[in-house]
Structure 1
Amino acid sequence: MIPTSTLSITQRTHETLKQHLFPGDGKEAAAVMVCTRVPGKRQRLLVKDIILVPYAACSRRDEISITWPSEFIEQGIDLAQQKGLAIVLIHSHPGGTPDFSVVDDRSDQEIIPCLFAAYGDLHGAAVMLPNGFIFGRLYTPEMHVSAIDLVSVIGTDLRFYWGTNKARSAKRPMAFTSEMTAELSGITAGVIGVSGTGSIVAEQVCRLGFGRVILIEFDTVEHKNLNRILNAIKTDADKGMAKVQVFSDRANQYRDQPYVVPVNANVLSREAVLALAESDVVFSCVDKLRARSVADLLSQSFLLPLLDVGVGISTRNLENGEFAVDEVTGRIDYVHPDGSSLFDRKVYTSAALQAEALLESDPEAHDDQVRRGYIEGMPEQAPAVISLNMRAASACVMEFIARAYPFRQETNDQYARTRFMLAESIEEFTSEAEFPKRQSHHLAQGDAEPLLGLPVLSKEDINE
């Protein structure tokens, strides 16, 4: 079942909290989490800032309770009030008590109403255990309480802490098991692009058992791409059906209840971005740089793990004037909000984005680019590339599995990028440490205006 409330936190922030909340003295410690609220059907909170309560400032700290001054809550209110952010108070249970205590209940009844007296309509409380597991609850101004269904930790590895896990075990399900399938039933995947590579990625996440799959695509089915788009048939091309509708109609027949959500829109639209914001992981299967840049910003703004996949076939001229395949390549980048971005990795550059925009403003030049298709240097309308797409799409989804259900003998930070070159039979990997990293100004900004920092996505621009 898809969780109705989630709390997302970066791995770096999670580690900072854990170090502070468990200093080694066996006593409770506390912090304030200031959280962005994501619009949508489910309540999704993103930890944007944390305020660590100094141990010396506490009037009482022992194994089962903590008392700390209100000034740190006031600091949180100052950070959150202007933008209407939520505050979640978090403390530790050094002894590993896997639920809120009577002391915790009493404390919430005293402190949470004070938060509502200041501002807001949603605040909460959470506990971290020595194993890093976080569980929590949310309050309304009437002090109605509900459990946080899922806490997701987004970093080199992906960790999911479920509120239904009463044992509060941090152990991950084993990869490729029914336990993995059971957990995936509560996770939402977003797929950008449902064409050659994207339809294969979408097919995998559907068959793996993701509880919800959000598809973003604005193009229609054509006869020339029937040889590489899964779930598309000739009748769809005859009618010019939307790719996203065709795929979702067929994939929704796999189960008793619909679970695939089609969004017939360009990813560079407010509708698409806000739909993807409700995901837990995003797969980018596009061939345009601007689309990749949007996925990049989406990952940072909404604390989402991102997997970006691309393929290419280069050619060379032979002496007789004919073409020959020079190389067949695929690239998979795993990006998380605290790591290097696609921009940092030069998957796209500012100059390349401008050049692409100019190219698309010139219909003749754009048509020429479309004619070139997959194979560099050759005008190929219906390239026979489904095998290449499947190779890359499989590697892309496997990369997600390796992050959420680790099975590698090395740490996942060694695999920030995977590239394969089939002509040379080479597969190479680039570690996270090999990429430069800039400080992102978009981290956990959520739907702050302009959306993703792009004026074209702002409410004002849409309304005009």
Structure 2
Amino acid sequence: MSSSTHHQQQLYKLALSEAHHAQLREHLFPGDGLEAAAIMVCAQSSTHRYVVNQILPVDHNSCRVRAPDRLSWPGTAIEDAIDLAEANSLSIILIHSHPGGTLEFSPLDDNSDYEAMPALFEASERSSILHGSAIMTPNGAIHARLYNRQLAIIPISAVHCAGDDLLTWQRTGHAGVMPTPMAFSAQMGRHLKHLTACIVGVSGTGSIVVEQLARLGFGRLILIDFDDIEFKNLNRIINTTLEDARHGIAKVERIASVIPLYRDDIEVLTLKGSIVSREAIELAGQADVLFCCVDSFEGRQLCDRIAAAFLQPLFDVAVTIPTRQTDSGPAIGEVCGRVDYVKPGGSTLADRGVYCPESLHREYLQQVAPAELDAQVAEGYIKGISDEAPSVISLNMRAASDCVMEFIARAYPFRQELNRERARTTFSIAAGEEEFMSETSFKRAPNPYLGRGLIEPLLGMPRFNTSGVRV
């Protein structure tokens, strides 16, 4: 892994799913105007990023005191959380409501934390574990903080909730939360500086996604791709050169190298390797947003699980050009693109049929035992035609732009209809059509990977052991 350009200070962040946020809001604000409490049991997705694994509501009737401005709740609730957290070395964040709407910790909150935190640390065997507290206001905003064993406060700079809209409660330098700016404004660019995006696959569509995210203002980019630049790539990977192809420069290295020419305030991390590796998974888990720009079923499966485990919004983009047979030979049947938005806890790419066990198995056989498959033309951009250097940059540009626009529409809403109506967008340039599918269009299976973070086995896949060796 390598890093280039400006080094961004690593700030602590917390992520939770839309379902967890709704559960907290319903429990913490039952309608009586009194404070209430819950416990968030959190896994780590990196040293500085925590994800909510479970919510444990504290029964209202078990609280000794519930008032509009104070709360006293039983220690037995914390004991249950400790037992759950210790099994997988998880962190505990105690959260309560502020019905009055103040998104700041009070002196009463401070005193309560200094009483509760020592008990949490006393039960933790690992010295690196951090615990914390949080508050929620009636509008759903969350402010959180962590403590170390010396009870020093470690601020959480932002809380992220990826639902149909991407909600971020980003703390400002002074008291308060940074307001969400208007889409496409200069303020949007400054707001994006606090976000980290991971792009898996930086080739045809991925290189264009990287270019747009860097110029939009993201403060940190993580680029993951295993491949080198070849002459056949030069007509569709932006910023690549003949010299790159002659020397077989890594795609991530080249794409990262041009960003400092127009941004001197961005950090870029690169990994030349497959996403199907422990190192890549852990690196991708640091991001706030995940963009999947790969052309393999296995790559999409991994991105699907990463996004679920680390509670990241996932944007998956694909293009294809189906052909049809005519008397004079193959002809263009369609020119298509697809963008899927997957929210943590929503329907996955697997639920939507983007990949399935059969397609994963067939792809595996193509890699290790191609002779076992029927003779067929290799899959590529243009289905039914073997073409190593298709002229598809215009199609890639359209799809990549749609992908980034989907992110903008959810982080800085501007559409005239609700975002929940657009879980999937498909377009046909040949037919001049664009279609949308809502989240309710897909059957959702239970997702055992949701909010797992770095809990072993990583992504629920034993082949990634703790030493990083595939077994």
**3-state SS of paired residue (1:459):** coil
1:35 pairs, out of 29, 38, 42, with: 42
* Contact residue 42 and residue 52 of structure 2 kept, 8 A: yes
1:268 pairs, out of 276, 280, 286, with: 276
Task: State the one-letter code of the partner of 2:76.
Answer: E
Q: Note the C-alpha offset of 1:397.
A: 0.4
The 2-side partners of 1:275 and 1:174 are apart by 30
The 1-side partners of 2:319 and 2:159 are apart by 34
Residue 154 of structure 2: aligned partner: 146
2:64 pairs, out of 59, 63, 70, with: 59
2:183 pairs, out of 150, 170, 175, with: 175
* Contact residue 197 and residue 222 of structure 2 kept, 8 A: yes
Q: Note the C-alpha offset of 1:262.
A: 1.2
Q: Please state if 1:5 is matched with 2:35.
A: no
Task: State the one-letter code of the partner of 1:323.
Answer: P
Residue 244 of structure 2: aligned partner: 236
**3-state SS of paired residue (1:342):** coil
The 2-side partners of 1:13 and 1:165 are apart by 27
2:352 pairs, out of 326, 329, 345, with: 345
* Contact residue 131 and residue 170 of structure 1 kept, 8 A: no
**Percent same amino acid at aligned positions?**
47
Task: State the one-letter code of the partner of 1:298.
Answer: I
Residue 4 of structure 2: aligned partner: none
Change (3 A) 1:109 1:387: same
Task: State the one-letter code of the partner of 1:76.
Answer: A
The 2-side partners of 1:370 and 1:296 are apart by 28
The 2-side partners of 1:365 and 1:76 are apart by 52
The 2-side partners of 1:155 and 1:394 are apart by 21
Q: Note the C-alpha offset of 1:150.
A: 0.8
* Contact residue 372 and residue 380 of structure 1 kept, 8 A: no
Change (3 A) 1:302 1:369: farther
2:399 pairs, out of 392, 395, 398, with: 392
Residue 141 of structure 2: aligned partner: 133
Residue 115 of structure 2: aligned partner: 110
* Contact residue 215 and residue 263 of structure 2 kept, 8 A: no
1:406 pairs, out of 413, 420, 427, with: 413
The 2-side partners of 1:397 and 1:188 are apart by 14
The 2-side partners of 1:80 and 1:345 are apart by 33
Q: Please state if 1:246 is matched with 2:261.
A: no
Q: Note the C-alpha offset of 1:38.
A: 2.3
Task: State the one-letter code of the partner of 2:315.
Answer: L
The 1-side partners of 2:55 and 2:388 are apart by 53
Residue 164 of structure 1: aligned partner: 172
Task: State the one-letter code of the partner of 2:92.
Answer: I
How many residues are treated as equivalent by the alignment?
461
* Contact residue 3 and residue 150 of structure 1 kept, 8 A: no
Q: Note the C-alpha offset of 1:168.
A: 3.7
* Contact residue 306 and residue 335 of structure 1 kept, 8 A: yes
Task: State the one-letter code of the partner of 1:161.
Answer: W
Q: Please state if 1:95 is matched with 2:103.
A: no
**3-state SS of paired residue (2:261):** coil
Structure-1-length-normalised TM-score: 0.96
Residues 264-311 of structure 1 deviation map (CA, whole Å, 9 limit, x = unaligned): 001111111111000000100111000000000001111111000000
> Which structure has the higher relative contact order (CA within 8 Å, separation 6+)?
2
> Any gaps of 5 or more consecutive residues in structure 2?
1-7
* Contact residue 219 and residue 266 of structure 2 kept, 8 A: no
Task: State the one-letter code of the partner of 1:92.
Answer: S
Q: Note the C-alpha offset of 1:382.
A: 1.2
Change (3 A) 1:408 1:365: farther
Q: Note the C-alpha offset of 1:254.
A: 2.3
* Contact residue 188 and residue 213 of structure 1 kept, 8 A: yes
Residues 150-183 of structure 1 deviation map (CA, whole Å, 9 limit, x = unaligned): 1001111111101227564585211111121111
Q: Please state if 1:19 is matched with 2:26.
A: yes
Change (3 A) 1:369 1:269: farther
2:317 pairs, out of 303, 309, 313, with: 309
Q: Note the C-alpha offset of 1:340.
A: 0.1
Residue 424 of structure 2: aligned partner: 417
Residue 363 of structure 2: aligned partner: 356
Residue 327 of structure 1: aligned partner: 334
The 2-side partners of 1:234 and 1:164 are apart by 45
The 2-side partners of 1:168 and 1:3 are apart by 20
**3-state SS of paired residue (1:147):** strand
The 1-side partners of 2:10 and 2:267 are apart by 14
Q: Note the C-alpha offset of 1:363.
A: 5.3
Change (3 A) 1:300 1:331: same
The 2-side partners of 1:290 and 1:20 are apart by 39
1:442 pairs, out of 432, 442, 449, with: 449
Structure-2-length-normalised TM-score: 0.94
Q: Note the C-alpha offset of 1:359.
A: 1.1
Residues 237-267 of structure 1 deviation map (CA, whole Å, 9 limit, x = unaligned): 0101111111111113322255121110011
